[in-house]
Amino acid sequence: MNPHEELNDLYLRLKEEDPSLERGESLWTIFEETTDDSLRPLALWTFSQNQFDLGHFRSFLVSFSLLMDWVRKDEMTLTHKQELDLYWNYKSYLIYAAEQEDVSAALLEADYELFSDFCDAHGFSRTRDYIGFMIYSKLGDEEQADLYLAEWVDAPSDELSDCPSCEGFSRMTYAIERGFEDRALLLYAAIRHERGCSRMPDQAHPYILPLFFSRKQDRFDWTERLIQEVRRVKPLFTGGDEPYHLYAEMYYNPRYVWSMDEKKQLIPLLTDRGYLQFLLAHYAASYRTARQEEVGYLGLLRSNIYEIAQSLDQRIDGAFYLNYVERELKRVTQFVG
């Protein structure tokens, strides 16, 4: 068996294996070593899927952005099923790329236009507008996000659509970041009763718990139930929602202290937007521990939070993330104080 056949055979075996660090390393080796023009993008694509499944979002973004060189030039020969799978991953690429301050709005819009062309060709109008909403909500462009939101909420489902609970979760988190707390609470209630991904209510608990705490006087029973649910669902360190679990734990566990291992495991996996929430959670825990005594350290942490927020806002010359940070810092100081 020649080297090309060996790499191809290895790829076919790896393609069926469960995600793991070892699988990812082997797929990356195939990508680097093969001279087969058809195998290279497939190995890179499968590597990116592996990284996404592990929660290594930065690695996913880097690898899928390399794959985009083939996608933009339409140089991949795929079956219809493979094409749908590719564009499902493309959705995730656009969403998480929008969370990185060093990915320009111009590049995102160009890649979204290509994605929209695919959706238009296949009648996937709901997916097209939903991803438009997701991109602009994460860029902090409220006007554009609201326009896309108005388009997709009543459109019929298609083959690339997210499930109703996933879509509801996206609307809920956007409402929290806009400061629309009543709307977020209504969307949370809907997520609990939607048919779709069973994990969505679990993911929603830590996002909504601080809102229940801020209204504790008239929602005590719900707050206690949510505390139990957040405690029950302890996710692995795979980025994404983990900063919100840390943030929620600060509210119900006054003795919670972050270990250095927790920080080391989490930070490399986060997008810039996730890192902002990580810092907010860190500030919340530190503020509670210090009770305003370590003013110098808290001031430095606060400056870092504002720096990340400003860098995310610069792409659209807005103040979406600055406003979000102001609301969250106010919530922390009111709760602890």
Per the listing, tokens 């195998």 go with 39
pLDDT digits (tens, 9 = 90+) for 268-304: 788 899 899 888 888 888 887 776 565 678 888 899 9
Give the dihedral of Cα atoms 41, 103, 208, 286; nearest 10 deg: 110
Name the band, by pLDDT with cuts 50, 70 and 90, for residue 110: very high
pLDDT tens column, 236-278: 656 677 888 888 887 788 777 777 787 777 887 888 998 998 8
What pLDDT does 332 receive?
Answer: 83
Helix (H, G, I), strand (E, B) or coil at 190: helix
Reply yes or no on whether the pLDDT at 99 is more than 90: yes
Task: State percent of the chain over pLDDT 70.
Answer: 93
What amino acid occupies position 235? P
The whole-number pLDDT of residue 150 equals 95
- Locus of tokens 């933009």: 72
CA pair distance 164, 281, nearest whole angstrom: 28
pLDDT in tens, 168-184: 999 999 999 999 999 99
Give the pLDDT of residue 337.
55
Overall average pLDDT of the 89-102 stretch? 94
Quick one: tokens of 190?
Answer: 């809907």
CB atoms within 10 A of CB 211: 19
* Nearest residue to 154 (alpha-carbon basis) of 126, 127, 135, 174: 126
Mean pLDDT value of segment 58-69: 94
Task: Assign 322 a pLDDT band (cuts: 50, 70, 90).
Answer: very high
Residue 92 has pLDDT above 80, yes or no: yes
What distance, in Å, lies between the first and last C-alpha atoms of the chain? 70
At residue 189, the pLDDT reads 87
pTM above 0.85, yes or no: yes
